[in-house]
């Protein structure tokens, strides 16, 4: 059979079909009560639904079996059995991924990490945390907060996503500008290969130059070569003072100036510089009903956060930055959070965009790296293109509701989102591959942080040359000769 979202993708006939005997094996191994959700020998169609559909409700798989192993040895036995039977699998964490990578395409078995949720150790002197893949990001950060440390990644899905999922997608998030990529902060990991081999590379060393750094292959490979079961990660001390300011800006040129000023004046305490366009903020206002922090309306807004160790010193710096950018006319208006409640509410105007969009219907999401001078031009060009094609207008008969841009300006990472009443193939065809060609011409990346999954399976060539793609295929064959790990996705 073929996939609903991708009619030209066919189920690989080399993969085994799940039988009642297979299910008995897994029930025996993991225990039937909470470890196995089974639609083969039991009637569990509704129970399987959350594991089959993604956060955006854009992709739907047809798994009949979800497994929830509790430890690495169980994962090893599960994968060894699947490999022997050529049963395809999908590793799944919090299922918050935005490229359809965490759900099956056909009947692949879901291996969900939610029961692997123990924190193993934390060393205050080095700041190294060792924890299972299924620990929820917010839980890990809360644990660290109690020990005056911070998880070096934060993102809107923190209440649901798993740290193993974060590592497998190499998630970027809201403070990459300050704390860097997981390729730098992850010190080690443990993973299981499809043949059941346990890769124990759970080093806690900051420095370790002994040959190839193989753990890096698992970071961002989206479950295609093995299942990550635990990670060790370098965590910085929790900053004692965190401040946030929110600005209205008249043009994209001024916004670039504001960013340069922020880098120059706030330098070592700058921890986030986020961009939100006017439309994204009106969407948040409509969906939350919250009063906007500024009086006037502006085409652009930015959120600037500082994190440091001396509240007075940081506030002084931020206030003089604010005074400078306002008096120079770089920003038109601005507000500084005065307490924790205001701090949270200002951040909601940025973090809440993804959810606000999800209330409108479908969203075509493009998560791209583009050199800063042209970053926002993509949104303008896309809006113009969709308008010329007759997809954008003021009433309900037009399929596109909004074309919005926001993102991690400090990392040159734009999120272009096209919100539609319903997913619509004509709109999709008007955007893709046009958008990828646009990015390629500027030597950008078609995925800055969300990954490729199934959404971009056809498009890797716009950001990687043939040699790189061939090397990836060779590595895939080496690690997963039967191709059972997360098939039909980008590799």
Residues in the site for ligand FAD, rule: CB under 6 A?
55, 90-98, 101-102, 113, 133, 155-157, 161-162, 164-166, 168-169, 171-174, 222-223, 227-228, 354-355, 449-450, 453, 486
Among ligand MLT, ligand FAD, none, the one that 55 touches (CB under a kind-dependent 5 to 8 A) is ligand FAD
Closer by beta carbon to ligand FAD, 78 or else 161 = 161
Tell me which of ligand MLT, ligand FAD, none is bound by residue 399, counting a contact when its beta carbon lies within the kind-specific cut-off of 5 to 8 angstroms. none
Task: Report d(CA 103, CA 89) in Å as an integer.
Answer: 10
| 397-456 residues near ligand MLT, rule: CB under 6 A | 407, 415, 449
* Residue 415 contacts which entry, ligand FAD, ligand MLT, none (Cβ below 5-8 A, type-dependent): ligand MLT
Which is nearer to ligand FAD, 101 or 293 (by Cβ)? Answer: 101
SS (H, E, C) 353-367: HHHHHHCCCEEEEEE
Number of alpha carbons in the 13 Å side-chain half-sphere of residue 341:
0
Cβ burial of 442 (10 Å; 0-12, 13-18, 19+) is: middle
Residue of 215, 166, 209 lying closest to 191 (CA atoms): 215
Residue 248 interaction partner, one of ligand FAD, ligand MLT, none, beta carbon < 5-8 Å per kind: none
Among 168, 243, 271, 354, binds ligand MLT (CB under 6 A): 354
Helix (H) or strand (E) holding 192: strand 186-192
Best CA proximity match to 248, nearest among 323, 319, 298: 298
CB of 432 to ligand FAD, least distance (A): 20
State which residue has the least CB distance to ligand FAD.
165
Q: Return the residue matching tokens 């965590």.
A: 235
Q: What, of ligand FAD, ligand MLT, none, does residue 223 touch, CB below 5 to 8 Å by kind?
A: ligand FAD
Tell how strand 241-249 and strand 333-336 pair up. antiparallel
Nearer residue to ligand MLT within complex by CB, 254 or 354 = 354
Q: Peptide bond preceding 433: is omega within 30 degrees of 0, i.e. cis? A: yes
Give the C-alpha separation, 240 to 292, whole Å. Answer: 28
Q: Which is nearer to ligand MLT, 106 or 347 (CB)?
A: 347
Q: How far is the CB of 162 from ligand FAD (least distance, A)?
A: 4
Contact between 31 and 65 under an 8 Å Cβ cutoff? The reply is no
Nearer Cβ to ligand MLT, position 226 or 362?
362
Q: Does 158 bind ligand MLT (CB under 6 A)?
A: no
Q: Which does 486 bind (CB under 5 to 8 A by kind): ligand FAD, ligand MLT, none?
A: ligand FAD
Residue carrying structure tokens 């059979």 = 1
Of residues 55 and 122, the one with the C-beta less far from ligand MLT:
55
Instruction: Please tell me the count of residues contacting ligand MLT according to CB under 6 A.
Output: 8
| Binding status of residue 352 toward ligand MLT by CB under 6 A | no
Select the residue whose beta carbon is closest to ligand MLT and give its number: 354
Q: Which residue, among 355, 103, 131, 104, has the nearest Cα to 235 in the 3D structure?
A: 131
- Enter the DSSP assignment of 487: T
Smallest separation, CB 471 to ligand MLT (Å): 28
CB of 260 to ligand FAD, least distance (A): 23
> Which does residue 133 bind out of ligand FAD, ligand MLT, none, counting CB within 5 to 8 angstroms by kind?
ligand FAD
Residues 6+ apart with CB under 8 A from 120: 130, 131, 132, 230
Q: With binding defined as CB under 6 A, does residue 367 bind ligand MLT? A: yes
Rounded Cα–Cα distance for residues 79 and 309 (Å): 46
Inter-CA distances, 246 with 326, 334, 407, Å: 12, 6, 14
* Among candidate residues 2, 491, 27, the one with its CA nearest the CA of residue 223: 491
Which of 104, 134, 156, 194 is in the footprint of ligand MLT by CB under 6 A?
Answer: 156
Nearer to ligand MLT, 26 or 246 (CB): 246
Helix (H) / strand (E) element for 143: namely: helix 137-145
Closest approach, Cβ 447 to ligand FAD, in A, equals 9
| Nearest Cα to Cα of residue 51 among 102, 1, 89 | 102
The Cα–Cα gap between 491 and 489 comes to 6
Q: Which residues bind ligand MLT (CB under 6 A)?
A: 156, 353-354, 365, 367, 407, 415, 449
């Amino acid at each position: 059979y073929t996939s609903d979202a991708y009619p030209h993708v066919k189920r690989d006939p080399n993969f085994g079909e799940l039988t009642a005997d297979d299910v008995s094996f897994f029930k025996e191994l993991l225990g039937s009560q909470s470890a196995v959700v089974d639609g083969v020998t039991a009637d569990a169609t509704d129970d399987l639904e959350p594991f089959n559909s993604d956060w955006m409700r854009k992709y739907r798989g047809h798994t009949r079996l979800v497994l929830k192993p509790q430890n690495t040895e169980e994962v090893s036995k599960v994968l060894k059995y699947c490999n022997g039977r050529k049963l395809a699998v999908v590793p799944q964490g919090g299922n918050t991924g935005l490229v359809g990578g965490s759900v099956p395409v056909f009947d692949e078995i879901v291996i969900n990490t939610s029961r692997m949720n123990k924190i193993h150790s934390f060393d205050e002197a080095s700041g190294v945390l060792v924890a299972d893949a299924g620990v929820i990001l917010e839980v890990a950060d809360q644990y660290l907060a109690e020990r005056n440390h911070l998880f070096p990644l934060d993102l809107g899905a923190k209440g649901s996503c798993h740290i193993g999922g974060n590592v497998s997608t190499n998630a970027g998030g809201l403070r990459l500008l300050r704390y860097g990529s997981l390729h730098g902060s992850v010190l080690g990991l443990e993973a299981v290969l499809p043949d059941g081999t346990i890769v124990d590379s759970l080093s806690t060393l900051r420095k370790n130059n002994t040959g190839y750094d193989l753990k890096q292959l698992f970071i961002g490979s989206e479950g295609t070569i093995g299942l990550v079961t635990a990670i060790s990660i370098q965590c910085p001390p929790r900053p004692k003072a965190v401040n946030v300011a929110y600005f209205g800006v008249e043009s994209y040129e001024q916004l670039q100036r504001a960013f340069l000023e922020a880098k120059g004046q706030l330098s070592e305490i700058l921890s986030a510089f986020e961009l939100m366009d006017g439309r994204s903020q009106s969407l948040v206002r409509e969906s939350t009903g919250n009063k906007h922090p500024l009086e006037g309306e502006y085409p652009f807004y930015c959120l600037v956060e500082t994190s440091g160790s001396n509240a007075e010193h940081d506030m002084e710096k931020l206030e003089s930055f604010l005074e400078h950018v306002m008096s120079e006319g770089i920003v038109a208006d601005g507000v500084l959070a005065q307490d924790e409640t205001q701090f949270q509410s200002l951040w909601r105007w940025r973090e809440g965009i993804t959810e606000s969009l999800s209330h409108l219907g479908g969203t075509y999401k493009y998560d791209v790296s583009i050199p800063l001078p042209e970053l926002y031009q993509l949104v303008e060009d896309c809006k113009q293109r969709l308008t010329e094609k007759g997809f954008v207008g003021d009433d309900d008969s037009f399929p596109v509701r909004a074309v919005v841009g926001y993102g991690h300006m400090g990392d040159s990472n734009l999120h272009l989102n096209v919100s539609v009443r319903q997913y619509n193939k004509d709109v999709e065809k008007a955007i893709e591959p046009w958008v990828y060609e646009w990015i390629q011409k500027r030597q950008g990346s078609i995925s800055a942080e969300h990954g490729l999954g199934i959404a971009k399976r056809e498009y890797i060539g716009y950001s990687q040359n043939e040699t790189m793609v061939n090397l990836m295929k060779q590595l895939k064959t080496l690690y997963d000769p039967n191709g059972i790990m997360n098939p039909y996705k980008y590799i």
